[in-house]
Amino acid sequence: MANNSEKNSPLIMAKIRKDLLSPIVNHKGAGLWMGFLLTGLALFFWGYIIQLKEGLVVTGMRDYVSWGMYIANFVFFVAVSLIGMLLSAVLGLLNIKWVKPITRIAEIIALAFVMIAGLVIIIDMGRPDRFLYIFFHGRLQSPILWDVTVITTYIVISLLLLILPLLPDLGIMKKYMKDDVPKWQWNLYNILSLGWANTPNQYKILHKSVRVLMILIIPVALGIHTVTSWLFASTLRPGWDTTIFGPYFVTGAFVSGVAAVIIAMYFFRNNYKLKYYLTDFHFERMGRLLVLVSLVYLYFNINEFLVPGYKMKTMDAHHLHTIFTGEYAWMFWLTQIFGLILPIIVTITKWGRKPGPLMITSIFVVVGAWFKRYIIVIPTLIHAHLPIQNVPHNFKEYMPTGLEITLTVGTIFMALIIITMLAKLFPILPMWEIAEEEGVDVQKDLLK
């Protein structure tokens, strides 16, 4: 066997190189897709300039609902970014083999979404020029400063966790792609590869460093979403004043993250022709993971809504009636049923874990997850914490304006642009790890 694979190693490597590096060279369809995304980005900037000029009055936000769609969107972005930790660190440290080809997709999604999450906060500021005040006048007693700290840290760790496992691949690309790509692109690979020479010592350092990062990223990722939940839970407002908000956010994040990765896997498998590497088996496993995290999230949902719903404390009751039977009931029940319960039922079946159906289910889950954040942020704010007399009517209800929706969609486009660019510049699957799984002695054969 060893002999056999040793003999076949160059062939295997050649196939992996051909399959994974050709999307970087082959631009068919990419221009159209990027054109679409850039048009969205242009629309975003047009809207943002209006918002900068006029101020936040162009949004639906007023004195009561001062955290609107932007903040709901922020929570969604942070949530999705948690998937990098779950897949590459938790499953990686457990040494689960099937997850290896998926880790880079997860890391790219994590990095793109957490970077845009930080940007969304700035979009939500009426005076973005005052952003730096958080460093001059911030108080460490405030969860907002903890959030800034932990998001920055997570961006750095995610970036490192993306770059480090990329080094051997960059070594390959530096060696084989000199004639295939423009000079600047090859220079980029050359610099980023940090002179990867495939020596045993380099591998030793690489494995050790990745391991350190995998351990570091778990508490940091838990921290990023727990602190985000504390932005809400450290207040006394009904709907937010709950002790399980941290784990409730984290489990919800895993659901949306797993679904987002499944959608990305499906897209790359078809467009990058990676059926050989991203097999039905991978989808079947990701489907199981989706069911698992969804069940945990369902359990937290039951706790989050049944317990206060049973007691109906006066202040809570206002809020709960709004989402159970009132103004937001349709959104609440649609997200719970189509974003959580039905996906669990469908994905429990073997058929539901086939790539096609699983991808469709995942779209429902992601959309549901987005609206779930909307349900968490907005209805609580509609009921004023302290009664005020003669309140203008537009304080008492919130409807996002077209401009607000445009900017929100724009941020999703931005995340997609980052993902597309990273997937266009680098192999979307870790070539050397796949080769290792195929029995290639990477330390010997990788750069042959």
Partner 1 sequence: MKYKNIISLFALLFATTMLFAQADDWGASDEDKAVQLQVEFNKMNINGGKALFNTHCKACHGELGAGKPILPNATDLGSEEFNKTHTDGLIHYKLINGKGAMPSFQGTISDEEMWKVIAFIRSNYEAYEPPAEIAAPVEASSGGGDMFQGDISKIEFSVDEESGKLSAKVIGKNAEGQSVLAAGVPLEFRVVGYFGDLPLNKDGKTDEKGEINFDFPKDLPSDTAGIIDLYAAIPESAGYGNHQSEIVNAQMGEKLNWIPPLSKRSLWGPMRNIPLWLLFTYLGITGFVWLGIFYVVFQLFKIWMLRER
- Concatenate the DSSP letters of all residues of 264-328 into one string: HHHHHHHHTT-TTTS-HHHHHHHHHHHHHHHHHHHHHHHHHHHHHHHH--HHHHHHHHHHHTSTT
Which 135-154 residues touch partner 1, going by CB under 8 A? 137-141, 146, 149, 153
Closer CB to partner 1, residue 192 or residue 403? 192
140: left (phi over 0), alpha (psi -120 to 50) or beta: alpha
Q: Which is nearer to partner 1, 135 or 310 (CB)?
A: 135
CA atoms within 13 A on the CB side of 406: 18
CB count in 10 Å sphere of residue 179: 6
Closest Cα partner for 435 from 448, 422, 445, 423?
A: 445
Applying CB under 8 A, which of residues 112, 167, 259, 286 lies at the interface with partner 1?
167
Kindly determine how many residues on this chain lie close enough to bind partner 1 according to the rule CB under 8 A. Answer: 31
Considering only 14, 132, 212, 337, the residue that binds partner 1 (CB under 8 A) is 212
Q: Please give the backbone phi and psi of residue 317, each rounded to the nearest 5 degrees, phi first.
A: -60, -40
User: What's the closest the beta carbon of residue 145 comes to partner 1, in angstroms?
Assistant: 9
CB of 298 to partner 1, least distance (A): 31
Q: How far is the CB of 171 from partner 1 (least distance, A)?
A: 10
Least distance to partner 1, CB of residue 40, Å: 34
Residues from 171 through 210 that contact partner 1 (CB under 8 A): 194-197, 199, 201-202, 205-206, 208-209
Candidate ranges 94-102, 118-126, 133-141, 301-309; the one touching partner 1 (CB under 8 A): 133-141
Q: Closest Cα to residue 107, out of 435, 358, 430?
A: 430
**Between 191 and 306, CB nearer to partner 1:** 191
Cβ burial, residue 81 (10 Å; 0-12/13-18/19+): buried
- CB 139 to partner 1: min, Å: 5
8 Å CB contact between 235 and 380: no
String of contacts with partner 1 for each residue 249-288, x by CB under 8 A: ----------------------------------------
Q: What span, in angstroms and rounded, lies between the C-alpha atoms of 166 and 170?
A: 6
> Which of residues 25, 93, 156, 306 is near partner 1 by CB under 8 A?
156
Q: Minimal CA–CA distance to 78: which of 403, 417, 369, 361?
A: 369
- Tokens 């642009």, residue? 417
Token couple for 200? 């045993």
Cα end-to-end span (Å), the chain: 20
Choices 32-40, 178-186, 212-220, 235-243 (CB under 8 A): range interacting with partner 1: 212-220
Per the CB < 8 A criterion, the answer to whether 77 and 117 are in contact is yes
| Residues in region 213-252 near partner 1 by CB under 8 A | 213, 216, 219-220, 223
Answer for which of 164, 231, 233, 286 binds partner 1 (CB under 8 A) is 164
> To the nearest whole angstrom, how small is the minimum distance from the Cβ of residue 166 to partner 1?
12
Are 68 and 379 spatial neighbours (Cβ–Cβ below 8 Å)?
Answer: no
Under the binding rule (CB under 8 A), the answer on residue 443 touching partner 1 is: no
Closest distance of CB 201 from partner 1, Å: 6
**DSSP element (H, E) containing 35:** helix 30-54
User: Residue 137 Cβ, how far from partner 1 at the closest point, in Å?
Assistant: 8
- Comparison of 149 and 401: residue with beta carbon closer to partner 1: 149
State the minimum distance, in angstroms, from the CB of residue 210 to partner 1.
9
Cα angle value 410/415/421 (rounded, 5°): 120
| Residues near partner 1 (CB under 8 A) | 137-141, 146, 149, 153, 156-157, 160, 163-164, 167, 194-197, 199, 201-202, 205-206, 208-209, 212-213, 216, 219-220, 223
